[in-house]
Amino acid sequence: MFIQEVSVEVNSEYSKDELYQEFNLLMEFYRGNGQSQGRIESQYIYGNKITALPFTLEKNSLAKEKNNIYVNKRIEKIQTLSNSVISIKTVGKTIEDYNGCCKCEKSEFYLLITNLVSIDSPVTCGNCNKSIPLYRLPKYYDFGYMPILRWETNYQSCDRLQMNCEVGERWALNQMQEINSQLSKQGIKITKKIEELTNIPTFYFLYNYRKQEKDNINRNCPNCNEKWSLKERKFFYDFKCDDCRIISTISSNS
């Protein structure tokens, strides 16, 4: 993943502390528009300069043409208050051989998926298994993608509870692996909307934590009860129901 440096010189008498908060809002709007990844980025004041270091999937993820109205209004406000122009430049990558996100001309299908530690896009390409930047999708709601990101936060919160094992583990696990849970219903509603907007089949990843593998191999789709086992495993998943638009694995801990 790429690391961007977003900075501004404060050439006015306006409070740097208040401008710092305006920068926080700008980072939130970048996130809501799918332009930056993760929820926390390094941000600091040094001298008269305020700097943030967000993660992005592409070098040009923060390019002006990808901004929505909220990002543009926040940039305009910061530049006016600081009497300066915001600077954006790529300063590095998280790993040396990172070469970007999905570059497929057209995806066979999309997959809605995340986990506790992921800062990738929650939408993945079914061809290459790489992230799809949300800004490549049609606007989902209010010039951005917040309903998708709220599901992502909910899912990761459940994943954190079930990994910590002491508080709410069983409830969180059921939210992740039961087709009729609130979390799954929220995610499936999103996949239906993405498919409606893009005309690309969009699947929901249903978590599976079952220790007895032999009981998993022949299990049917939990929604329609039809056979859904794949003849050959693709990437990390073993089950795919084209009618119900759900995907799963034999066991998420295998």
Q: What is the mean pLDDT of the chain?
A: 93
Tell me what pLDDT residue 150 has: 97
Pairing relation of β-strands 202-205 and 110-112?
parallel
Determine the straight-line distance between the first and last CA of the chain, rounded to whole angstroms: 27
pLDDT 10s digit of each residue in the chain, 254 long?
A: 999 999 999 999 999 999 999 999 999 999 999 999 987 778 999 999 999 999 999 999 999 999 999 999 999 999 999 999 999 999 999 988 888 899 999 999 999 999 999 999 999 999 999 999 999 999 999 999 999 999 999 999 999 999 999 899 999 999 999 999 999 999 999 999 999 999 999 999 999 876 555 556 778 999 999 999 998 888 889 999 999 999 999 875 54
Tell me what pLDDT residue 236 has: 84
Return the number of other C-beta atoms located less than 10 Å from residue 107's C-beta: 21
> How do residues 139-149 score in pLDDT, each as one tens digit?
999 999 999 99
Q: What angle do CA 74, 76, 80 make, to 5 degrees?
A: 115
Tell me how far apart the alpha carbons of residues 202 and 194 are, in angstroms, rounded to a whole number. 7
Strand order in the sheet with 87-93: 37-46, 49-56, 2-9, 87-93
Answer positive or negative: Cα dihedral of 141, 147, 148, 149. positive
DSSP 237: E
Rounded CA Rg of the chain = 20
Q: Extract the tokens encoding 193.
A: 């909307």
Count Cα atoms within 13 angstroms, Cβ side, for 87. Answer: 12
Look-up: residue for tokens 């191999």?
A: 217
Tell me how far apart the alpha carbons of residues 25 and 220 are, in angstroms, rounded to a whole number. 46
Can you list the pairs that 167-171 forms with residues at least 24 positions away whose Cβ atoms lie under 8 Å? none
Question: With contact defined as beta carbons under 8 Å apart, do 110 and 65 qualify?
Answer: no
Q: Extract the tokens encoding 144.
A: 């951005």
* DSSP string of 60-110, one letter each residue: TTT-GGG--HHHHHHHHHHHHHHTS--EEEEEEESSTT---S---SS-S-E
